Amino acid sequence: NQAREYGLLGKDIFSSGFNFDVQLRLGAGAFVCGEETALLTSIEGHRGEPRPRPPFPAV
């Protein structure tokens, strides 16, 4: 709330015409959530399990 009072969050921050909001999400806290695809899955509200990645072509 203090950040909103100072004009750091919300609509038209610093009278710039730019809107900025932050949402905090509580994850499962499992070690596997350190892996980026597992972390994204956890943020989406699902179990924090890594997703398979596509193979990257070798150059």
- 10-residue mean pLDDT profile of the chain (59 residues): values are 89 91 73 74 82 80
The whole-number pLDDT of residue 45 equals: 82
* DSSP state letter for 13: G
The whole-number pLDDT of residue 35 equals: 79
Cα separation, 22 vs 12, in Å, equals 14
The whole-number pLDDT of residue 27 equals: 62
Give the pTM.
0.42
| Token representation of residue 27 | 């994850």
